[in-house]
Amino acid sequence: MVDKITVGYTHLSGCTGCTVALADNYGGLLTLLDKYVDLKYMPTLADARHIQKVDVSFVEGSVCINDKLAVEEIKETREKSTVVVALGGCACYGNITRFSRGGQQNQPAQEAFLPIGDLIKVDVYIPGCAPTPQMIRNVAVMAYLLLKGTKEQKDLATAFLKPLMALPVQGTACGASTACFCDLMTNVIDQGLCMGCGSCAAVCPVRAISMEYGKPNGERDLCIKCGACYAQCPRGFFNTDVIGEYEAINEAIMAALQ
């Protein structure tokens, strides 16, 4: 019997797309639950609705600070979790929930929905709107290997998780947990990492991004700093430092899921 890690899932304000992405792992999710994860609470998938003490908490959605319960819930999640993972663009940067209140003018003071990093210390960011099912599954496997694996597995898990653990610490051009088109420009486009997929332009709620000659161009006067483009960009958290270890990392994940 494998020594499982305990996991919780706190669900705050968002579209529930991250839960759907998690469930889209199908057999992979069943393997995780069977072998590695003891799901202690999750409003949607587990028959337990009260926050419990766990090794790892995944948090989906941003915090509505007008909702006392949501504020208490995120604080209790932090108190009862060894590791807190912000899952998806809303938890990491606010994303579309930044756009959820009032007639938006350019650059509004939008403070009703905050990314969780504005209220608690966060250990890992998984950006994406929603993150891919594989990404969520891989982080769960790597969290298990980091906490319960052999020395070699712990080293691989550290290499895999390092870029995601750096995101809450390094912050963005706008601050710790606010992102905007400048971050896309600085960390992706100017680094030559943009592959012209157009996801950033498609996700922008105010149509501030247009694709020109295959590359995104942002109108900064229109940008409301929701961070949706940065959260959505598949290259936004690309880390060249771990490229050399990716084959071994993938092998470790595949072996764990067999």
CB of 144 to ligand SF4, least distance (A): 30
Q: Phi and psi (nearest 5°) for 107?
A: 50, 55
Q: Which residues bind ligand SF4 (CB under 6 A)?
A: 180-181, 184, 188-189, 194-200, 203-204, 206, 208-209, 216, 218, 223-229, 232-235
Is 49 or 207 the residue whose CB approaches ligand SF4 more closely?
A: 207
Q: How far is the CB of 92 from ligand SF4 (least distance, A)?
A: 12
CB-CB contact of 129 with 203 (8 Å) = yes
Considering the complex, state which of residue 33 and residue 206 has its C-beta at the smaller distance from ligand SF4: 206
State the Cα–Cα distance between residues 36 and 57, nearest whole angstrom. 15
Q: Is residue 224 a contact partner of residue 206, using CB atoms and an 8 Å limit?
A: yes
**Min separation Cβ 175 and ligand SF4, Å:** 13
Comparing CB distances to ligand SF4, the nearer of 40 and 225 is 225
**Rounded CA separation 74/68 (Å):** 10
Compute the least distance from the CB of residue 80 to ligand SF4, in Å: 32
* Least Cβ distance, residue 205 to ligand SF4 (angstroms): 6
| C-beta closer to ligand SF4: residue 144 or 181 | 181
Amino acid identity, residue 134?
Answer: Q
Nearer to ligand SF4, 61 or 216 (CB): 216
Length of the chain: 258
CA 209 vs CA 10, 43, 47, 154, 178: distances in Å = 32, 36, 42, 40, 18
Q: What is the CA radius of gyration of the chain?
A: 18
Nearer to ligand SF4, 136 or 233 (CB): 233
Which is it for the CA torsion 130, 131, 137, 141, positive or negative?
negative
For the CB of residue 161, give the shortest distance to ligand SF4 in the complex, in Å: 22
